[in-house]
Structure 1
C-alpha cells in the first residue's frame, strides 16, 4: 500500500539530514537536535514511499453504529484477535492482582496490559527475554500491550508509584515519600529505582529496547506526563518534547519491528489547540494506532469534553486506545465517542475493597444485609457458583480467598459487559 508520511523539522536552526526506517529502506528527513530548545518548526514536507503490508497486525471495522461514533471492530495480533470495544485488564507485574490471569483469559479476556517500568526493575528485561518474552514467561496465549514506563517515571515526582505498589490511596498521600525522579532532559528521564536506589535513565530508545525484550504485541513510545496544573507555555514545551521522543521511539522500533505494533500517544492536556497540534504531527507518522494520554482532565466532565474534541479527529482506519480510564460509568460515555480499547485496574481495585459489579449496580459486600443472601451476585454475568452470603463471610473473616473471588467476579463481569456493549452496537442501540 502507499503510505504518505509528513516529517516536520523539529527545531529551529541548521538542519541535519537524517533517515527513517520504513521496511528495509531509509527515508530521509531533517532533524536539528538542540537539547535546550523545544520549539517545533512550522515547516513540513512530504515523503511518499511504498511500505510492505504488515500481515501480523491489522484492524478492521465490523460495524459502524448509525446512532453514534461507536463501532465494533477486530484487532488482529500475532497472539489472537481482540474484539472491540474492549476492556483491557492491567497485569502490572505480569500478573493480575489476586487473580490467576489464565482464569480471566478463559472467560474471554483478549488483551492485557503489562508495565515496562516495573518489569524493568524486576525481574529485568534480560530475564523475560531469556524466558522467550512475556507470553512464555507468564504463560499467556492472548495478546499483550506494554507501556513505555513513562507514566510511572513521571508519577515518581508525586508518589503515586509508591501508592500503587503498596495499594494505598493516592489522595491519602505519604508524608515520608521522597521523589525518585531526578531529572528530565532531551535525552530522557533519570530516576532512582524504588527497589535498590540505583540510578536509571529511561530514554526513548531504551524504552523501546526493553519492550522488544518483553515481546508484547503492541508497544508504546516514551512520552512526558505533565501534571494537570501547568502553565500553557510549559505544557507546549512538554508536548514538543513528547513529539521528539515519540519520533525517536518510532525510529528505534522500525529498526527491528519483530511483529510488534506501535501506538502513538496523543498529548496536549485539555488544551484543544495543543491536542490538535499533537494529532496533526503524530498522525503524519507511520504509527499502527493511536492512544489518548497525558492529562485527561480533573473530572469526568472535562474528560468527556476532551474526547468529544479528539475522537472525530483521529483517523478512523486505525485502532485507538484510552489510557488509564475504564470504570463502568466512563465506558458507557466513551464508547459512543468511538473509543476502541481502554485499560484500568479499577475492577480489581474495587474488588479488593469488597465491591462487586452487577447490572443492578455496585454491591458493597461487607454490608450485613448480604449475610443471608444465598444467591449469586448477578444471575448471568460474573461468578455464578458462589453466593453473596459466602462472599460476605469470607470478607468478614478476612480470608484471602475473598479478594480472589471478588476480583475474579469483577474481571469476568467486565468481559461479559463488553460482550453486551458490542451486541448493542451491532443492533444500533448505542
Structure 2
C-alpha cells in the first residue's frame, strides 16, 4: 500500500495517542474506539421482503442462445432504458461542452455525481429547484452515485495511478482525512471545508436530487491491497450499504436503489459480497470496486460475478464503457455501462468512427479529407477537414462537435449490439 493510502490511518492513530497523553488538554475528548472491523452486517431477515416498485421494473426482451448476453428494458418513472446501454456521465449535472436537451432518446440514461453536486450547488439548492430533472431540464432517467468513488479515489487514485506509482494532485493534498464506521471524512477540493459523508447523508442527498436510480455508500479500496484488509473493506461496505438501504426504505419516493458488489479480483470475496447483497431488497446490482488492472482481469471477473446476480433484476458495470470493454462484457450479461470515455475523447480531439476507428483529428492527414467521419450517423454535415481546421484553430465549438459525434457513435454502437443479440449473433 502506498504512503498516501496509510497516511490517514497514521494521523488517526496519532490523534488517539495525543488525546491519551497526560500532556493533552483536559478539554480534548478521547475518540471512541472503532467496532470490530470483522463485525458482520445486519442479517437479511432484519429487512422487509422485496417489493417491486410500480414505476420501476426490468423486462427481459431476449436471451441470446449463444451467450449470457441479453436485451432488456428498464422501466423508470422518467422513461425506458434499452439494454445493453451506454450511460453518459454528466458529472456536475451537465455534459461537458454539450447541451443534453436536444439529444432526446439518444441518451436514455445519464449519470450525475453526488460528490461534486454535494460540494456545489448543494442538495438543498437542487431540492428547491424541484430536483435534478427540473434543475437541469431533463425529462428522461438519471442515475446518481453515492459520492464514495470520488472520496476514496482521492486517497489512492486510479488503478493506472497505482500501477505506474503516480501521485495525483488530490492525494498530495491528503483530501481524505478519516474513514470510520460512521463514514468518510474529507476536505473539499473547492474550498478546503471539512465534510463527512455517511450512508445516511449520501441517501438524503440523493433523495433531494430525485434521481431515478440511487446507489448506497461503499468503500473503494485500492487495487493493491492484501486479502485481510480487503475482507475488512468488503464488510465495511456491506454495513454501510445496509444502513443506506434502511434509510432508503424509510421513504422510497419512486427511486430504485442498486447495491454495489465488491471484493476486488478475489473470487471468494466477490461471491461473499454477491450472496449477501442479493439477499437484501435492492432493485438492481452494480459491479464496483477494483475491476482489475486490464481487460483480461475484468472479463474473468465478470465471467464469475454476473451469474451470481439475479437475472430478474438489472445490473450495471460502474465506470467502464470503452468500446472494447463493452464488446467483451456484453456476452457475460452486463446491462448498462457508464463512463466519461467518449466525451473526454471528443474534447481532446479524438473521434470514434466506424470507417476509420479512432481518428486523431489534429493530425495533418485529415486536412484535405472533405468527407464526414462516417457516411451514416454522427456528424454527417461536417467534413474531417473542417473538424481538423476547427481543432487546430482552437475554436471552442470543435470540442462540442467532436463530443456530439462520439455520443451519436456510442448510441448507434449499442443499438447494433442489441440487434446482434436479438439475432443470436453475440
What range is the shorter-chain TM-score in? Answer: 0.7 to 0.9
In the other structure, the counterpart of 1:394 is 390
- Provide the C-alpha distance between the structure 1 equivalents of 2:187 and 2:156, rounded to a whole number of angstroms: 14
Matches within 5 A, 1:20-419: 35-41=34-40, 46=45, 52-104=51-103, 106=104, 108-158=106-156, 173-174=168-169, 177-360=172-355, 361-419=357-415
Question: Higher strand share goes to which structure?
Answer: 1
Q: How has the CA–CA distance of structure 1 residues 51 and 115 changed in structure 2, closer, same or farther, with 3 Å as cutoff?
A: closer
- Provide the C-alpha distance between the structure 2 equivalents of 1:401 and 1:291, rounded to a whole number of angstroms: 35
Q: How has the CA–CA distance of structure 1 residues 42 and 263 changed in structure 2, closer, same or farther, with 3 Å as cutoff?
A: closer
- Provide the C-alpha distance between the structure 1 equivalents of 2:203 and 2:44, rounded to a whole number of angstroms: 26
Query: Normalising to structure 1: TM-score of the pair?
Result: 0.87
- Provide the C-alpha distance between the structure 1 equivalents of 2:105 and 2:265, rounded to a whole number of angstroms: 37
With 134-143 and 367-376 compared, the bigger mean Cα shift is at 367-376
Q: How has the CA–CA distance of structure 1 residues 98 and 129 changed in structure 2, closer, same or farther, with 3 Å as cutoff?
A: same
Q: What SS is found at the alignment partner of 2:111?
A: strand
With 189-198 and 318-327 compared, the bigger mean Cα shift is at 189-198
Structure 1 ranges of 4+ moved more than 2 A = 40-53, 169-177
Question: Higher helix share goes to which structure?
Answer: 2
- Provide the C-alpha distance between the structure 1 equivalents of 2:75 and 2:194, rounded to a whole number of angstroms: 38
1:381 shift after superposition? 2.8
- Provide the C-alpha distance between the structure 2 equivalents of 1:80 and 1:107, rounded to a whole number of angstroms: 10
Equivalent pair of 1:358/1:381 in contact (CA under 8 Å): no
Count matched residues: 390
1:353 shift after superposition? 1.5
In the other structure, the counterpart of 1:428 is 424
1:43 shift after superposition? 10
Deviations along 1:274-330, one digit per CA (max 9) or x if unpaired, are 000000100000000000000001111111111111011111001000000000000
Deviations along 1:57-97, one digit per CA (max 9) or x if unpaired, are 00010000001111000000000000000000000000011
1:35 shift after superposition? 3.5
Equivalent pair of 1:327/1:346 in contact (CA under 8 Å): yes
With 174-183 and 389-398 compared, the bigger mean Cα shift is at 174-183
Query: Normalising to structure 2: TM-score of the pair?
Result: 0.88
1:369 shift after superposition? 1.2
Q: How has the CA–CA distance of structure 1 residues 402 and 45 changed in structure 2, closer, same or farther, with 3 Å as cutoff?
A: closer
In the other structure, the counterpart of 1:15 is none
Q: How has the CA–CA distance of structure 1 residues 43 and 120 changed in structure 2, closer, same or farther, with 3 Å as cutoff?
A: closer
- Provide the C-alpha distance between the structure 2 equivalents of 1:157 and 1:49, rounded to a whole number of angstroms: 36
- Provide the C-alpha distance between the structure 1 equivalents of 2:130 and 2:276, rounded to a whole number of angstroms: 35
Equivalent pair of 1:107/1:412 in contact (CA under 8 Å): no
Give unpaired runs (5+ residues) of structure 2. Answer: 1-32
1:159 shift after superposition? 5.7
1:207 shift after superposition? 0.2
Q: What SS is found at the alignment partner of 2:172?
A: coil
1:173 shift after superposition? 3.9
- Provide the C-alpha distance between the structure 2 equivalents of 1:228 and 1:287, rounded to a whole number of angstroms: 26
- Provide the C-alpha distance between the structure 2 equivalents of 1:371 and 1:280, rounded to a whole number of angstroms: 56
- Provide the C-alpha distance between the structure 2 equivalents of 1:175 and 1:339, rounded to a whole number of angstroms: 32
1:49 shift after superposition? 6.0
- Provide the C-alpha distance between the structure 2 equivalents of 1:125 and 1:44, rounded to a whole number of angstroms: 31
With 151-160 and 178-187 compared, the bigger mean Cα shift is at 151-160
- Provide the C-alpha distance between the structure 1 equivalents of 2:366 and 2:294, rounded to a whole number of angstroms: 32
Equivalent pair of 1:57/1:75 in contact (CA under 8 Å): yes
Equivalent pair of 1:125/1:210 in contact (CA under 8 Å): yes
Q: How has the CA–CA distance of structure 1 residues 248 and 69 changed in structure 2, closer, same or farther, with 3 Å as cutoff?
A: same
- Provide the C-alpha distance between the structure 2 equivalents of 1:363 and 1:217, rounded to a whole number of angstroms: 35
1:48 shift after superposition? 9.3
Q: How has the CA–CA distance of structure 1 residues 175 and 50 changed in structure 2, closer, same or farther, with 3 Å as cutoff?
A: closer
Equivalent pair of 2:90/2:113 in contact (CA under 8 Å): yes
- Provide the C-alpha distance between the structure 2 equivalents of 1:89 and 1:227, rounded to a whole number of angstroms: 25
Q: What SS is found at the alignment partner of 1:179?
A: coil
- Provide the C-alpha distance between the structure 2 equivalents of 1:149 and 1:206, rounded to a whole number of angstroms: 10
- Provide the C-alpha distance between the structure 1 equivalents of 2:404 and 2:55, rounded to a whole number of angstroms: 31
1:227 shift after superposition? 0.1
